Amino acid sequence: MSKDECAAPAILMCSEEAFRMYTTLCAGAKEEKEDNKRRKTKEKAFSSRTPAFFLAAAIGIVNEKSFVAKREKELTRREYILDHSNFGPFEQLIKSKYDLKTESEIVNKLLEFQEYGIRELYDEYHKLGKINFLRIYRDAKTRA
């Protein structure tokens, strides 16, 4: 297998549903026009998609649940994930737990975990307007 075959794609893709959830949860407060008035929308839970991605992946890993979905929307660029300081521990955990070797396999597994985790984050934020991590953890344990 060549190095190019082992590398993750330059653009990481997610499902359309996950993309909408990231859009709801990320990128800070923004102003929108509504009936010629400006109003401030509700503050977002994350400043960018990168921390949301890692937290969503962590929720999937902790709960040992992943979700395979058709990836049709651009989530982020590879370097935003692979060059982030959080990637190293995720990479080591996935390599050891799932016996994956290539960057592409590891990133693919992370994408499957984040597909599950972003749904948990979104559901929590949608219900409460904030994210209560203890509640997410307890709910996952009671559903297991």
> Tens digit of pLDDT per residue, the chain (144 long)?
445 556 888 899 999 999 999 999 996 434 444 433 444 556 788 989 999 999 999 999 998 999 998 998 999 888 999 899 989 999 999 999 999 989 999 999 999 999 999 999 999 998 888 888 888 777 777 776
Beta-strand relationship, 37-40 and 31-34: antiparallel
pLDDT, residue 144, reads 62
Domain presence at residue 2: no
Query: Within a domain: residue 5?
Result: no
| pLDDT value of residue 128 | 86
Burial class for 29, CB neighbours closer than 10 Å (0-12, 13-18, 19+): exposed
In a domain, 6, yes or no: no
Percent helix, percent strand, percent coil in the chain, to nearest 5: 60, 15, 30
What is the reported pLDDT for 35?
39
pLDDT at 95: 92
**What's the rounded Cα separation, in Å, for the pair 80 and 83?**
6
Domain count, the chain: 1
**Beta bridge pairs of residue 26:** 46
Please give the structure tokens belonging to residue 67: 């979700």
**Within-domain flag for 44:** yes
Q: Which domain holds residue 119?
A: 11-143
21: in domain: yes
